[in-house]
Amino acid sequence: AQSVSQHNHHVILSEAASLELGCNYSYGGTVNLFWYVQYPGQHLQLLLKYFSGDPLVKGIKGFEAEFIKSKFSFNLRKPSVQWSDTAEYFCAVNEAGRRALTFGSGTRLQVQP
């Protein structure tokens, strides 16, 4: 069965620090990849997505992610975090032909001013 692993469960950074959150998935075929974010008290919302093409995708609020097929990874990055980036981040994968997303366990990011 398809699975998604997020190894960082809780990350604490100071403002202006660089961020990289890991995401690995288990399926070897064609996949669509997503990062969703849940700000405190708000709905889950899409941060960025990869379907095909350029493996480096850019999302909202300065986030980007790189799809490395050989490593089954889709890590999320931001060069300089802000206090407003404090949230929970979820990686999700949709394998071709499967009708629903599989989510990782989430990473709680806390940015200290």
Partner 1 sequence: DGGITQSPKYLFRKEGQNVTLSCEQNLNHDAMYWYRQDPGQGLRLIYYSQIVNDFQKGDIAEGYSVSREKKESFPLTVTSAQKNPTAFYLCASKTALSGANVLTFGAGSRLTVL
Interface residues with partner 1 (CB under 8 A) are 4, 6, 9, 32, 34, 43-46, 49, 51, 90, 92, 94, 99-106
**Nearest-approach distance from CB 43 to partner 1, in angstroms:** 5
**Nearest-approach distance from CB 66 to partner 1, in angstroms:** 18
Q: Which residues contact 109 (CB under 8 A, 6 or more apart)?
A: 11, 13, 19, 21, 81, 85, 86, 87, 88, 89
| Cβ distance to partner 1 smaller for residue 18 or 30 | 30
User: CA-CA distance, 105 to 103, in Å (whole number)?
Assistant: 7
| Cβ distance to partner 1 smaller for residue 9 or 113 | 9
Q: Is 84 helix (H, G, I), strand (E, B) or coil?
A: helix
Backbone angles phi, psi at 106, to 5 degrees: 95, 150
| Cβ distance to partner 1 smaller for residue 7 or 82 | 7
| Cβ distance to partner 1 smaller for residue 6 or 24 | 6
Q: Could you tell me the sign of the dihedral formed by the alpha carbons of 84, 88, 89, 93, in that order?
A: negative
